[in-house]
Every structure is written in structure tokens, then in C-alpha cells.
Structure 1
Amino acid sequence: MSLTRLMTALSLGLLTACAHSPVDNINVEEQSDCPLQLHVGQPLTVSLPSNPTTGYRWAIQDSAGGVLRSLSPEVYTSAENGQVLGSGGQSTWRFQAIAAGNGRLRLTYQQPWEPEAEPAQTFDCAITVN
């Protein structure tokens, strides 16, 4: 192999190694998954157990707006055995880390017509973006 070809192959190898690879999506399904460390551009999916037939809904109280951007509204999917009327499922939100810094992603699970009532559940996650 000629020196030129060898140098070209090595250069391409180095460029490939240095190329920015896609950042893995972070999936959070419970409070114990927090706190989170993300990189700018990294996607985040939060899925929490939910059952809107009971009148309870998750509401975002703090969206970590300085460091996260919402990519979609809440999406509810029923459980895999969703044949049972009134069975629970998952509420899912998608975000993307947009800037370095710190924030909190805080959601409460309560009946919307009783905003002064204590939430049945809370999800409070500290977010650090590098």
C-alpha cells in the first residue's frame, strides 16, 4: 500500500472516530431514575403510569424550560391488556436538552377540577445538561 493511500485511510479512520455520534435517548419511568445528566441535543422520554378514567391526570408544573424543550404533548397509551375498560396505561412526554444548565422537571398527578388538593403523586426530577 502506498504512503498516500495509507495516510488517506488513517485520516478517514480518525475523522470517523471523531465524528459526533447520535446521542442515546434517555428513558425515565420512575422517580428513582433521577437525577438526570444529559448532553445538549440529547432526547429524553418520560413515561409515567396513568389512568385518566379515574379523573386523575399528570400536569407539568415545571418543565425545566431553560434546559429542556418539549417535543410533543402528552401521549396516553393503554396497558397491553387494554381490553379491560378503565384499566391504566402510560402517559408519555418527549423532550430534548437544548442548553447547558440545571432545571427541574416536575409533574403532579391530580384531578384538574381540584387544583388546591394535595396531588396523589408527584414526579420531581433534577436535570443537568452539559
Structure 2
Amino acid sequence: MQEFQLSEADNGKKLQLQVHDHVVIKLPANPGTGYNWEVQPNNHFNVSHQYKTQADAGVGAGGMDVFELDPQTQVQSGSIKFLYKRAWESGTGKEFSVSYQIQ
């Protein structure tokens, strides 16, 4: 089992994964502004999510959205996309995506 740690700098990265690998994606967020990262539907991964504030952050400061992905099936290729947007606004806002192959 291998663990992959990804950040906003890894946008567009291509991963070669095994079924038992683990992927952690940390994206900066500030839900107090109404913006949230949303993972787009993808049945190749079991996805968990939690928001973490910075320990020394003041009121209104941002934190990190942490997504943990565990591959569920072998696929030749695919991609997973995250959108940073306000739920009540149309449009996509900021995007983060990763392409992958799961063996």
C-alpha cells in the first residue's frame, strides 16, 4: 500500500494507483465565505471528507478541506474533479482535478 499526499500544486497530476493505495488531497478553504470544495460523483473511489482549521488561526481564518480517497475498482483511466464554489451560485468557480489509472 502506498499513500499519495496531494495539494493544490498537484492540480492536473496523473497518478498510477493500486487498488489498496490511499490518496489524501488537502485544499485550502474558507467556508465562512460561503465557498466549499465539492467532489464530483465518481464510483471508482470511496471518499471521506473533513474540514480542518489551523490551530493558531483567528476568527474567520481559513483552513483545509481534506479528502481521503481509497480506490474501489481497477480501471484503465479516469479522473476525479473537485469544484470550489458557493452552492447558490451557478458556474464552476475554481477547479482541482487528478487523472488516474488503477491497477
Give TM-score, length-normalised by structure 2. Answer: 0.87
How much is the aligned-residue C-alpha RMSD, in angstroms?
A: 1.5
Residue 55 of structure 1, aligned match among 18, 25, 34: 34
Q: Bigger relative contact order, structure 1 or 2, given CA contacts below 8 A and separation 6+?
A: 2
Name stretches of at least 5 consecutive residues in structure 2 with no aligned partner.
none
Residue 81 of structure 1, aligned match among 56, 59, 68: 56
Indicate if the aligned counterparts of 2:29 and 2:63 stay in contact, CA closer than 8 A.
yes
Give how far 1:108 is off.
Answer: 0.4
| 1:94 and 2:68 are equivalent in the alignment | yes
* Per-residue deviation, residues 57-107 of structure 1 (Å, max 9, x unmatched): 0111243x2x3222x2x200112322x111111001111112221221101
Indicate if the aligned counterparts of 1:106 and 1:125 stay in contact, CA closer than 8 A.
yes
Q: Which residue of 2 aligns with 1:13?
A: none
Indicate if the aligned counterparts of 2:25 and 2:67 stay in contact, CA closer than 8 A.
yes
Indicate if the aligned counterparts of 1:62 and 1:104 stay in contact, CA closer than 8 A.
no
Q: Which residue of 1 aligns with 2:101?
A: 128
| 1:38 and 2:11 are equivalent in the alignment | no
Name stretches of at least 5 consecutive residues in structure 1 with no aligned partner.
1-22
Structure with more helix by fraction: 1
Give how far 1:28 is off.
Answer: 1.0
Structure with more strand by fraction: 2
Shifted more, 30-39 versus 50-59: the winner is: 30-39
Which one-letter code corresponds to 2:2 in the other structure? Answer: D
Structure 1 stretches of 4+ with a deviation exceeding 6 A read none
Indicate if the aligned counterparts of 1:31 and 1:125 stay in contact, CA closer than 8 A.
no
- Percent same amino acid at aligned positions? 24
Based on CA coordinates, which of the two structures has the bigger radius of gyration?
A: 1
